Amino acid sequence: MTVHFKQDEPDNSNRLDGMKQGVLGKPMPRIEGLAKVTGTAPYAAEYPVENCAEGVLVTATITRGEVTSIDRKSVLSMPGVIAVIDDEKLCTRAAQGTANEAPMQGPAQVCYWGQPIALVVAKTFEQARDAAKHLNVEYRVEEGAPLDPGEVEPEEQEDETVHQGDLAHAMAEAAHSIDVTYTTKGHASAAMEPHAAIAEWDGHKLTVHASLQMLNYNITELADALDMEEDDVRLISRYVGGGFGSKLGISEEVVAAALAAKQVGRPVRVVQSRQQVFQTVMRRSETTQRLRLAADDNGKLVGFGHEALVSNLPGESFAEPVLQSSHFLYGGENRELMLNVARIHRMTAGSVRAPGEAVGMPALESAMDVLAEKVGIDPVELRLRNIPEDDPEEGLPFSSHKLAECLKQGAQAFGWENGPRKPRQRREGEWWIGIGMASAARVHNVSEAKARVTLKADGTALVETDMTDIGTGTYTILAQIAGEMLGLDPKRVLVELGDTRHPRGPGSGGSWGAASIGSAVYVACKAIREELATKIGTSEDKLELNEGRTPTGESLTDLLEGKDLAREGHYEPGDIEDDYTASGFGAFFAEVRVNHYTGETRVDRMLGAFGFGRVLNAKTARSQCIGGITWSIGLALTEALEFDPRDGHLVNCDLAEYHVPVHRDVPDLDVVLVEERDGAASPIQAKGIGELGMCGGAAAIANAIYNACGARLYDYPMTPDRVLAGMPD
């Protein structure tokens, strides 16, 4: 039986507070943690499948054009080689998971260097790799593909454009105004587990073990790419070694494995190499951002301008949503916002770790630091003075808003000294030392979600959904929600995720996972509670369950009389989305040291204070924030995709040349959870967390670099050469 719940009104009943079991929000360790650290949790490529052949992708070595011939014969005679798959289905946009309207037709059209064009299948991986290297491919090359955003006339994304009042006039008249331009480089998602799939056919039924974030949607993509019915496809992703956006859609290894397994009549495994993951999976667009801020004597904004240029391939619908939080974070009645996309032939741009704010906030929040200095007030104070009452563009109320609390609690926990700041005040030997701060903001999203909860006759519970846990803690929080609602120790709740045989979840993306699937489980559990309440002649809201018993001591097993009780919860975001602006907020504080002679920056300590609704698990929530802050360090100091200006191919395509922060780069990070209840955000009063932790953090580091050594930089990452060049002497 399905119970449908569409949220049209805020729910401020705080139902989940003060329940008898008392497990929600507790810092429960991850259920699957032991399996993961002992290596017994099978990831996509590790499923034991008999008689499995190995496939290796072949990628294009031209930037734009068409594959005219593939010399299969030359490799089919090589040892162990079974087949060469160059089905055009492999090369469609659908196979790249970008879900664009028009899949490419005819012979494989190449639109970026590194695009997968074929798959070589052999008995062993080494044989397949060797043959893939020897596969002779001929192309018809189209010259003159634009490779740099500066080479083309960009397209305006009109739905992002805001013209309110007269910004130019405000800039000219205001007591203080700044006009600054920032750049950020492209980023790789850099998930630890490479993209991998094992495909197996049973007649016309296909099963694929893959590493994916959104099975609910990936099954549609895969069925589309293969011209199949969804009912004939089963996708399994029980454990995912990180996605960070790169596994939101299916990518070529999934389609290629399925096509190959069909053709060769046995299971086929395809694992992308680290280099291929870098060169074929989506990148985050580089950005150029102009910030215009105009403020009165007291630092109150009267004008706010944010214009951004991003890039993507021709025809792609995604544009890095740089301005997402700029629309509502600060006031200022004269506003001008604009997002432009340059169509260039670097690999596809898509969602990478907090698309939008991840790069928009570091620019905005560094500009705010420039403004604070100009106005001559404390940077925290500048933010506090500019928090709007309502959404400054839409006029909508905020669902809840904890920016001020985050700024204050964060400043206190960090030991922030109030007052206007001056750079180059502290030096220890070769090192300049300084502090900086920034606000955090990330829009809150929710998504339709279904989950089945079964209260078993033996007094345990089972939660089933195709939702994924990409390292975020989904298994654990769902056990906690079900345990809390049904009065069970979470150890008695079995959570089964990552299988499209289960009800469709929301997938893991955009930080909507926990609030969305948590709400579906909540809705299902509530229906079960209603049934139980009826049995003992009370109402659901009065039903107190604890350790499998009612207040009068009856056990759930007695109440169930040998029968399972199952309900499917179907949560749907309702009209409430149009009534409120919903966002997570926070504040970052950083202390850095900058070497006077080498320009090297080390982050000595960093703290983030975040408000994102109900905390479902204090440990996994904190871990999410720590992960986000860590990415902030990467964005601020080291991460940058470098493209060859001749053919647009990605040059630094491994974890040595593309440097994500490692332990030596990350000091002890501190997190303050500014707990709140947001009844308009979701039925369980929770908002998204995962991405909030990196939305603005890089600016706290940039501002601390300036405070330390006086180098005011406008280009991320702030590498030693840039810092040295920016220092005053």
Minimum CB separation of residue 541 from ligand MOS in Å reads: 36
For residues 324 and 160, give the distance between their C-alpha atoms in angstroms, rounded to a whole number.
9
Interface with ligand MOS, residue 473, by CB under 6 A: no
Q: Which DSSP string do the residues of 702-719 spell out, in sequence order?
A: HHHHHHHH-----BSS--
The amino acid present at 336, given as its one-letter code, is E
In DSSP terms, 191 is beta-bridged to none
User: Which range of residues in 40-48, 122-130, 244-252, 668-676 is near ligand MOS by CB under 6 A?
Assistant: 244-252
Catalytic entry in 32, 307, 568, 691: 691
Minimum CB separation of residue 283 from ligand MOS in Å reads: 12
Alpha helices in 487-545 (DSSP H): 513-535
For residues 488 and 425, give the distance between their C-alpha atoms in angstroms, rounded to a whole number.
56
For residues 196 and 253, give the distance between their C-alpha atoms in angstroms, rounded to a whole number.
6
Please report which helix (H) or strand (E) contains residue 699, including its range: helix 697-709
Minimum CB separation of residue 353 from ligand MOS in Å reads: 5
Q: Which is nearer to ligand MOS, 54 or 691 (CB)?
A: 691
Minimum CB separation of residue 318 from ligand MOS in Å reads: 11
Q: Which is nearer to ligand MOS, 243 or 613 (CB)?
A: 243
Judge whether 339 and 157 are in contact, CB under 8 Å. Answer: yes
Q: Which is nearer to ligand MOS, 248 or 587 (CB)?
A: 248
When binding is defined by CB under 6 A, the residue of 353, 492, 529, 549 that contacts ligand MOS is: 353
The amino acid present at 397, given as its one-letter code, is P
When binding is defined by CB under 6 A, the residue of 97, 114, 243, 648 that contacts ligand MOS is: 243
Q: Per-residue contact track with ligand MOS, 679 to 698, x per CB under 6 A?
A: --------------------
Minimum CB separation of residue 351 from ligand MOS in Å reads: 4
For residues 491 and 30, give the distance between their C-alpha atoms in angstroms, rounded to a whole number.
11
User: Which range of residues in 38-46, 296-304, 349-357, 553-561 is near ligand MOS by CB under 6 A?
Assistant: 349-357
For residues 210 and 246, give the distance between their C-alpha atoms in angstroms, rounded to a whole number.
13
Q: Which is nearer to ligand MOS, 305 or 634 (CB)?
A: 634
Q: Which is nearer to ligand MOS, 506 or 510 (CB)?
A: 510
Q: Which is nearer to ligand MOS, 217 or 244 (CB)?
A: 244
Q: Residues binding ligand MOS: what is the number (CB under 6 A)?
A: 11
When binding is defined by CB under 6 A, the residue of 127, 213, 311, 476 that contacts ligand MOS is: 213
Minimum CB separation of residue 439 from ligand MOS in Å reads: 20
Minimum CB separation of residue 271 from ligand MOS in Å reads: 21
Interface with ligand MOS, residue 628, by CB under 6 A: no
- The gap from C-alpha 627 to its chain's centroid, in whole angstroms, comes to 11
Judge whether 419 and 378 are in contact, CB under 8 Å. Answer: yes
User: Which range of residues in 155-163, 242-250, 323-331, 386-394 is near ligand MOS by CB under 6 A?
Assistant: 242-250
Cα angle, residue 35 at apex, residues 34 and 40 outer, rounded to 5°: 145
Q: Which is nearer to ligand MOS, 208 or 248 (CB)?
A: 248
User: Which range of residues in 306-314, 347-355, 366-374, 643-651 is near ligand MOS by CB under 6 A?
Assistant: 347-355
Name which of 658, 634, 653, 655 is nearest 717 in CA terms: 634
For residues 212 and 207, give the distance between their C-alpha atoms in angstroms, rounded to a whole number.
14
Minimum CB separation of residue 321 from ligand MOS in Å reads: 11
Residue found by looking up tokens 């700041």 in the block: 421
Q: Quote the strand ranges of 190-242, DSSP E.
A: 196-202, 205-210, 233-236
CA separation (Å) from 268 to 71, 122, 165, 203, 206? 22, 9, 60, 15, 12
Cis peptide before 314 (omega within 30 of 0): no
The number of CA neighbours under 13 Å toward the Cβ of 24 is 25
Footprint of ligand MOS on residues 354-373 (CB under 6 A)? 355
For residues 722 and 594, give the distance between their C-alpha atoms in angstroms, rounded to a whole number.
12
Residue-wise over 693-721: b if at least 16 C-beta within 10 A, else e? bbbbbbbbbbbbbbbbbbbbbbbbbbbee
User: Which range of residues in 243-251, 413-421, 665-673, 703-711 is near ligand MOS by CB under 6 A?
Assistant: 243-251
User: Which range of residues in 351-359, 420-428, 451-459, 476-484 is near ligand MOS by CB under 6 A?
Assistant: 351-359
Active site residue 691: yes
The amino acid present at 418, given as its one-letter code, is N
Q: Which is nearer to ligand MOS, 573 or 679 (CB)?
A: 573
For residues 293 and 184, give the distance between their C-alpha atoms in angstroms, rounded to a whole number.
19
Q: Which is nearer to ligand MOS, 349 or 352 (CB)?
A: 352
User: Which range of residues in 170-178, 238-246, 407-415, 434-442 is near ligand MOS by CB under 6 A?
Assistant: 238-246
Q: Which two tokens stand for residue 345?
A: 């032939």
What is the pairing mode between strands 301-312 and 334-343?
A: parallel
For residues 257 and 238, give the distance between their C-alpha atoms in angstroms, rounded to a whole number.
18
Minimum CB separation of residue 506 from ligand MOS in Å reads: 11
Name which of 690, 687, 696, 729 is nearest 711 in CA terms: 729
Judge whether 435 and 411 are in contact, CB under 8 Å. Answer: no
For residues 508 and 343, give the distance between their C-alpha atoms in angstroms, rounded to a whole number.
28
User: Which range of residues in 13-21, 239-247, 426-434, 531-539 is near ligand MOS by CB under 6 A?
Assistant: 239-247
When binding is defined by CB under 6 A, the residue of 108, 196, 197, 248 that contacts ligand MOS is: 248
Q: Which two tokens stand for residue 98?
A: 């970008």
Q: Which is nearer to ligand MOS, 352 or 515 (CB)?
A: 352
Interface with ligand MOS, residue 245, by CB under 6 A: yes
For residues 127 and 59, give the distance between their C-alpha atoms in angstroms, rounded to a whole number.
17
Minimum CB separation of residue 447 from ligand MOS in Å reads: 11
When binding is defined by CB under 6 A, the residue of 184, 325, 351, 581 that contacts ligand MOS is: 351
Checking phi first, is residue 724 left (phi over 0); if not, alpha (psi -120 to 50) or beta? alpha
Q: Per-residue contact track with ligand MOS, 379 to 418, x per CB under 6 A?
A: ----------------------------------------
Q: Which is nearer to ligand MOS, 112 or 318 (CB)?
A: 318
Instruction: Give the DSSP letter of residue 503.
Output: P
Instruction: Give the DSSP letter of residue 23.
Output: -
User: Which range of residues in 2-10, 179-187, 345-353, 415-423 is near ligand MOS by CB under 6 A?
Assistant: 345-353
Footprint of ligand MOS on residues 489-548 (CB under 6 A)? 509-510
When binding is defined by CB under 6 A, the residue of 147, 352, 520, 576 that contacts ligand MOS is: 352
Q: Per-residue contact track with ligand MOS, 47 to 76, x per CB under 6 A?
A: ------------------------------
Q: Which is nearer to ligand MOS, 63 or 516 (CB)?
A: 516
Residue-wise over 525-537: b if at least 16 C-beta within 10 A, else e? bbbbbbebbebee
Minimum CB separation of residue 242 from ligand MOS in Å reads: 10
Q: Which is nearer to ligand MOS, 416 or 610 (CB)?
A: 610
The number of CA neighbours under 13 Å toward the Cβ of 190 is 23
Minimum CB separation of residue 245 from ligand MOS in Å reads: 3
Please report which helix (H) or strand (E) contains residue 461, including its range: strand 461-464
| Nearest residue to ligand MOS on Cβ basis | 245
Minimum CB separation of residue 266 from ligand MOS in Å reads: 33
Enumerate the active-site residues.
Answer: 691
Write out the residues near ligand MOS by the rule CB under 6 A.
213, 243-245, 248, 351-353, 355, 509-510
